[in-house]
Amino acid sequence: MDDVDLKRLTGYDDTAEYELDLCGLDLPHSTESVVRMIERSRFRAPRSVVVRLDPAGPDTGETLFQPIGRLLLDLRRKGQLSKLSPLPHHAGSGFYLVTLGKEDSAGAETDDPEEDE
């Protein structure tokens, strides 16, 4: 199976338009970052996002994968995300998602530097 077939099966495309890096953050800050990103996405065109998390390791203890995953799944169920999947193993720990956004706002918004927090 080649990379194109793998990407098609997993729904993951490594050319996401935006990356939200939550590595090194605790759960409250990570949760707030995700909530703010989703809130802002309501006013923009739909876009793909990779959410990066710290990977599990022998000394890490519990990771944010499960709580952030539950939050994102809840947002998907509420109709605020059009696509959600975990990143494939080779891409690291995290999620690939596509925000719902507004179709008619394509190109109307510029990147917000505050989102890089």
Q: What is the pLDDT of residues 4-58, one digit of tens each?
A: 565 556 555 567 899 999 999 999 999 999 999 999 988 889 999 999 999 888 8
| Cα distances (Å, whole numbers) of residue 86 to 10, 96, 100, 104 | 8, 6, 18, 28
Contact between 31 and 74 under an 8 Å Cβ cutoff? The reply is: no
pTM to 2 decimal places = 0.75
Measured CA to CA, the distance from residue 8 to residue 4 in angstroms comes to 6
Q: Which ranges in 1-117 belong to alpha helices (H)?
A: 3-10, 27-41, 65-77
Answer yes or no: is pLDDT of 114 > 50: no
Q: What is the pLDDT of residue 113?
A: 43
Answer yes or no: is pLDDT of 86 > 70: yes
Answer yes or no: is pLDDT of 117 > 90: no
Min mean pLDDT across 34-38, 59-63, 92-96 is at 59-63
Q: 11's torsion region: left (phi>0), alpha (psi -120 to 50) or beta?
A: left
Q: What is the pLDDT of residue 115?
A: 46
More confident residue, 72 or 110: 72
Measured CA to CA, the distance from residue 83 to residue 99 in angstroms comes to 7
